[in-house]
């Protein structure tokens, strides 16, 4: 199997999680203060996240597709681009459907989150962040900045990745055994 859940996080992973957390928290604070996610910040953070994605260890970042004929870097790069586009398209569609409750900046932040997490961690990061944001917005009965929830859920998913991978392996095991 490609995944080894018993591996500990490498020092590089801890540094990358800290850097990603700092960047995401900066976006969250800006969104809370001004309800805007600056394009300049995205233009700086996105290429950095794309370059950093190749340095994640295999314990933390596993591409959804692994191209045997190429090295791991190629597979991770394709995974990052796929996650980026899926995240942007999904949040952009939600932004159009909610008629302004979710902004274009949130879609750009989701794109950055896709670059950071890859496809496997993207779904839980977005699902948790969107659910928490929706609950708080519903409780407050007024629009709430979404970036803090997306940032917190992404950081949580990065830190809990080892357990998430264990769940995915368990699901894969049962799917294979049923076939």
> What is the rounded average pLDDT of the residues 95-112?
91
Residue in 138, 174, 131 with CA at minimum distance from that of residue 153: 131
Average pLDDT of every residue of the chain: 86
Residue scoring higher pLDDT (169 or 102): 102
- Put simply, whether the predicted model's pTM sits higher than 0.75 gets the answer yes
Q: What is the C-alpha to C-alpha distance for residues 129 and 79, in angstroms, rounded to an integer?
A: 21
Nearest 5°: the CA angle 33, 37, 42 is 140
Tens of pLDDT, residues 48-96: 999 988 888 877 788 887 887 888 888 899 999 999 999 999 999 999 9
Q: Confirm if 165 and 5 have CB atoms less than 8 A apart.
A: yes
Residue 12 has pLDDT above 60, yes or no: yes
State the residue for tokens 């670059």.
Answer: 115
pLDDT (tens digit, 9 = 90+) per residue, 117-154? Answer: 999 999 999 999 999 999 999 999 888 999 999 999 99
From residue 78, give the alpha-carbon distance in Å to each of 45, 85, 106, 115, 141: 18, 11, 23, 10, 40
């Amino acid at each position: 199997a490609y995944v080894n859940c018993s591996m500990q996080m490498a020092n590089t992973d801890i540094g990358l999680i800290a850097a990603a957390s700092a960047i995401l928290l900066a976006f969250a604070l800006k969104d809370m203060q001004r309800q805007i996610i600056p394009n300049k910040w995205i233009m700086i953070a996105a290429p950095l996240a794309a370059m950093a994605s190749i340095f994640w260890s295999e314990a933390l970042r596993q591409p959804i597709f692994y191209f045997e004929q190429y090295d791991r870097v190629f597979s991770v790069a394709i995974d990052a681009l796929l996650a980026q586009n899926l995240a942007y398209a999904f949040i952009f569609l939600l932004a159009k459907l909610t008629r302004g409750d979710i902004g274009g900046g949130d879609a750009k932040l989701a794109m950055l989150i896709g670059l950071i997490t890859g496809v496997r961690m993207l779904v839980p990061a977005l699902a948790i962040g969107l659910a928490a944001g929706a609950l708080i917005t519903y409780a407050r009965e007024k629009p709430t900045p979404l970036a803090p929830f997306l940032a917190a859920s992404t950081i949580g998913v990065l830190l809990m990745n080892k357990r998430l991978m264990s769940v995915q392996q368990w699901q894969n095991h049962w799917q294979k055994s049923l076939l």
